[in-house]
Amino acid sequence: MRNALRACSRPEPWKRGPVLTALALLLGLLLPLHATIPDVAGLGSLVESVLPWLGVCIPVLLAAAWRRRSLSAATALLLPAIAWTTLFGGLLLPDKSHPGGDLTVATHNVGAANPEPTARTLAASGADLLALEELTPRATPLYEKTLAATYPHHAIRGTVGLWSKLPLSGTHPIDIMNYGPLAATKSPAAKLPENRALHTTVSTPNGPLAVYVAHLGSVRLTPRTGFWTTSRNIGAAALSRAIATERNPHVLLLADLNGTWDDRTLTDLRTHLHSTQQTSGTGFGFTWPTAFPMARIDQILYRGLTPNRSWTLPETGSDHLPVAATLTWSQER
């Protein structure tokens, strides 16, 4: 009798789990509307940095809905499932790469405190262009010596450098740390080295290629400041401005952007360049941290080229994984 009364007192399946239903609907709205989240204390940027991982919430909520026997929550989960698949499902499609290519490039934040020599590993990648970030005065001569046989041409400006099998010309630094409001503040970003980006022209058999190498400022998550992104955001704005005024239709950006492709900070860059991982990679291609990669903050972006393949290279001792891509020259329209 007691069991019968308890069963009668339970809400119907469609009325069970109102909190789970609300969470499912909230997640379903958060995924497509992430750009509307206010960036107070970097909240919007933080959410966008982990956006693909919000998909983990779907099976968790589904398990809770099953346990609660809530049909309303289970049905509501269709919204985030469709939203997540729309945003990231393409990355999980079968291999999007195809053979061929005119140019293989790679980029790597070698790590200022990296105790292991990485030059031989990177030289063995077969890249025609190799960009390195976070170079130090102690390590730079070692890279120059080890890479000289494979790369007869190289250019270094501050903490970034490009090694090339093809001739370079017109190399100059790009000041990405003193742009806009940063120049008039005492932000911690102002203490960073000024030369964290360079521009050079590579002479390829198909014509000149504009190449940018950059290392944007780091981000910090602290109780006092929240998700601190000031230096990264200023650097992204300066880099976007430089690329927006680039007259060469064939452009490559090899960089540690300290931001994911979904981050609102890279909106301007997305209007001028495309991501090799998005168009020719397999999976998410996470690069940081090496121990358990959770975000792709190392990017190969392009314009006037067609990507054939994008992939990550084996770890080198740095806290970043190197990334590489093969691209084909596209004829100017």
pLDDT tens per residue, range 165-220: 999 999 999 988 775 554 444 454 444 556 899 999 999 999 999 999 999 998 98
Per-residue pLDDT for 116 more than 80?
A: no
> Do residues 249 and 304 make contact, with C-beta atoms less than 8 angstroms apart?
yes
Closest CA to 212 of 172, 247, 177, 249: 172
Q: Which CATH number fits domain 103-329: 3.40.50.1110, 3.40.50.20, 3.60.10.10, 3.10.350.10?
A: 3.60.10.10
Strands (E), the chain: 103-109, 129-133, 153-157, 160-164, 168-173, 197-204, 207-215, 220-222, 226-228, 251-256, 274-275, 298-303, 305-312, 323-329
Q: What is the pLDDT of residue 115?
A: 63
What are the φ and ψ backbone dihedral angles of 127, each rounded to 5 degrees?
-70, 140
Higher pLDDT, 94 or 24: 24
CB atoms within 10 A of CB 255: 28
Per-residue pLDDT for 333 more than 60?
A: no
What does the pLDDT average to over 14-30?
91
Using pLDDT thresholds of 50, 70 and 90, give the confidence band for residue 124: confident
- Determine what percent of the chain falls in helix, strand and coil, rounding each to the nearest 5: 35, 25, 40
- Separation in Å, CA 113 to CA 109, 253, 288: 11, 24, 15
> Do residues 310 and 106 make contact, with C-beta atoms less than 8 angstroms apart?
no
DSSP state of 262: T
Q: What is the pLDDT of residue 16?
A: 79
Q: How far apart are CA 113 and CA 236, in angstroms?
A: 24
Q: For residues 299-308, b (16+ Cβ closer than 10 Å) or e, as one string?
A: bbbbbbbbbb
The rounded percent of the chain whose pLDDT value lies above 70 is 89
- Total-model pTM: 0.90
> Do residues 319 and 295 make contact, with C-beta atoms less than 8 angstroms apart?
no
Using pLDDT thresholds of 50, 70 and 90, give the confidence band for residue 93: confident
Closest CA to 96 of 248, 282, 263, 230: 282
- Separation in Å, CA 128 to CA 35, 150, 312: 37, 9, 16
The two three-digit tokens of residue 50, written as one number: 């982990």
Q: What is the pLDDT of residues 75-86, one digit of tens each?
A: 999 999 999 999
- Ranges 50-54, 118-122, 207-211, 294-298: which has the least confidence: 118-122
